[in-house]
């Protein structure tokens, strides 16, 4: 509802309220997931941390509706943090599964996760306090490096047969 309001109506208090409600609903959903249990499993915690960018993004869009921050902060929280983090997390998990590899990650994959999350902070949150071109360059570098690491690790796997010989 909040996203529809954002597209169809001018910024204002109703949009801010809708985004605030969406942020609260997603924060409550995430609170019930017991994310602390995933701390030792990066292949899972990346999904929890990435999902946390939904309420952050909705809260920022609510603040934008009230004229307190630029809408780009919320858009980047959703795009870089939520979508980017969920993409890198799911790509590593599904690539491992479909190539017959264990569902545990290496230090390179964890580095890719951290780089995507750093890119989200640099792109969505840091400009709120200190908007500088260097911050944007750092965010782009972190994002690009994360996906280059994915390519480095997974391209050979995805272009060869499964380890276990099954179809995949």
What confidence category does residue 168 fall into, taking pLDDT thresholds of 50, 70 and 90?
low
Provide the 8-state DSSP code for 39. T
Q: Other CB atoms closer than 10 Å to residue 128's CB: what's the count?
A: 13
Average pLDDT for residues 127-144, to the nearest whole number? Answer: 92
Average pLDDT for residues 64-72, to the nearest whole number? Answer: 95
Lowest pLDDT segment from 14-18, 105-109, 164-168: 164-168
Tell me: pLDDT of 29 over 70. yes
83 φ, ψ (degrees, to nearest 5): -70, -50
31-61, pLDDT tens digit by residue?
999 888 888 999 999 999 999 999 999 999 9
d(CA 164, CA 139): 38
Instruction: Tell me the three-class secondary structure of the chain, residue by residue.
Output: CHHHHHHHCCCCHHHHHHHHHHHHHHHHHHHCCCHHHHCCCHHHHHHHHHHHHHHHHHHHHHHHHCCCCCHHHHHHHHHHHHHHHHHHHHHHHHHHHHCCCCCCCCHHHHHHHHHHHHHHHHHHHHHHHCCCHHHHHHHHHHHHHHHHHHHHHHHHHHCCCCCCCCCC
The per-residue pLDDT of the chain, averaged, comes to 94
């Amino acid at each position: 509802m909040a996203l529809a309001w954002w597209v169809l109506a001018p910024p204002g208090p109703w949009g801010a309220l809708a985004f605030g409600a969406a942020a609260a609903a997603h924060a409550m959903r995430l609170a019930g997931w017991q994310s602390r249990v995933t701390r030792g499993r990066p292949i899972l915690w990346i999904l929890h941390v990435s999902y946390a960018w939904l309420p952050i993004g909705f809260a920022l869009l609510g603040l934008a509706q009230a004229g307190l921050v630029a809408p780009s902060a919320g858009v980047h929280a959703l795009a870089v943090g939520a979508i980017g983090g969920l993409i890198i997390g799911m790509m590593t998990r599904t690539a491992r599964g479909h190539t017959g590899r264990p569902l545990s990650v290496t230090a390179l994959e964890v580095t890719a996760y951290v780089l995507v999350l750093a890119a989200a902070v640099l792109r969505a949150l840091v400009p709120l306090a200190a908007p500088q071109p260097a911050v944007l360059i750092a965010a782009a570098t972190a994002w690009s490096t994360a996906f280059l690491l994915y390519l480095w690790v997974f391209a050979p796997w995805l272009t060869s047969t499964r380890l276990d010989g099954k179809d995949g």
